[in-house]
Amino acid sequence: MLLVDAHCHINLAKNPKEAISSALENGVAAIICSGDSLKDSEECIELADGKRIFATIGVGPDFACKETNYVEWLKEKIKENKGKVVGIGEIGLDAKVECNVKKQEEVFRDQIKLAKEFGMPIVVHSRQMINRVIEILKEEKAEKAMLHFFEGDEKHAIELASMGYFLSFPPLESSRRNRIIKMLSLNNIVTETDSPFAGKEPSDVLKAVEIIARIKGVSMESAADAITQNIRNLFNINIVQGP
């Protein structure tokens, strides 16, 4: 059974290298480290080996008003780190950060375009902005996307799944998330921990798979297989068992 943490910030763990070894020892087959500033993106790239650890790079809402020349920077990094950089993100919109929404949207759109230019998926962050996020994904015709820590309701989930996107769920239950998991096809579900936030670590992704398997009424193996296949397809990466 292959377990994958499709979204975390392992570079922010107290000791990232130790956190990675511990995750791999505890059965995690692959980890995707996402940056939301250029500094964090660089740190994720440094940790990536293109085998077990992969990076997605980008400027998130929190940094949208702070970073400049980010498109050029991201392009360079994508070209220099083939096989390690596998997507753009996390990017998106957040109603709770200082940066104004107009600027956030501009930065979000720039990076959707960039992802399309390179045929890469985007890792989308949304906090209290899901309707606007969906409008922008449509307007920009985003091709491949994963909605990290999915915050929407059933209506949003149906719409996003019909657009071919993936919804990502953490190892935390809520009645809303459980309803959505029940309704969605396993073909649209991926798992993440967002660690080290909320005191999680990548091996907690096992719990996310357990929740999904239980709600879907399938074995752990078949849930994990479907999820891992989704992550392979989305990020175009090879995920294999073993050290």
Binding site for Zn ion (CB under 5 A): 194
Find the shortest distance in angstroms from Cβ 85 to Zn ion. Answer: 17
Find the shortest distance in angstroms from Cβ 194 to Zn ion. Answer: 5
CA distance linking residue 174 with residue 133, whole number of Å:
22
Find the shortest distance in angstroms from Cβ 90 to Zn ion. Answer: 5
Question: Looking at beta carbons only, is 77 or 92 nearer to Zn ion?
Answer: 92
Find the shortest distance in angstroms from Cβ 34 to Zn ion. Answer: 6
Lookup result for tokens 């999904």? 212
Question: Looking at beta carbons only, is 194 or 204 nearer to Zn ion?
Answer: 194
Instruction: Supply φ then ψ for residue 116, to 5 degrees.
Output: -65, -40
Question: Looking at beta carbons only, is 193 or 213 nearer to Zn ion?
Answer: 193
CA 156 to chain centre: 18
Question: Looking at beta carbons only, is 33 or 224 nearer to Zn ion?
Answer: 33
Write the CB contacts of 128 (distance below 8 Å, at least 6 apart in sequence): 94, 95, 96, 151
Using CA atoms, how far residue 5 sits from 57, 142, 143, 169, 228, in Å, is 16, 23, 22, 10, 9
Q: Which residue, judged by CB position, is nearest to Zn ion in the bound state?
A: 194
Find the shortest distance in angstroms from Cβ 76 to Zn ion. Answer: 23
CA distance linking residue 209 with residue 205, whole number of Å:
6
> Sheet harboring 28-34: ordered strands across?
3-8, 28-34, 53-57, 85-94, 122-127, 145-147, 166-169, 189-191
Question: Looking at beta carbons only, is 43 or 194 nearer to Zn ion?
Answer: 194
Question: Looking at beta carbons only, is 67 or 194 nearer to Zn ion?
Answer: 194
Find the shortest distance in angstroms from Cβ 196 to Zn ion. Answer: 10
CA distance linking residue 195 with residue 189, whole number of Å:
18
**Is residue 94 within 8 Å of residue 125, measured between CB atoms?**
yes
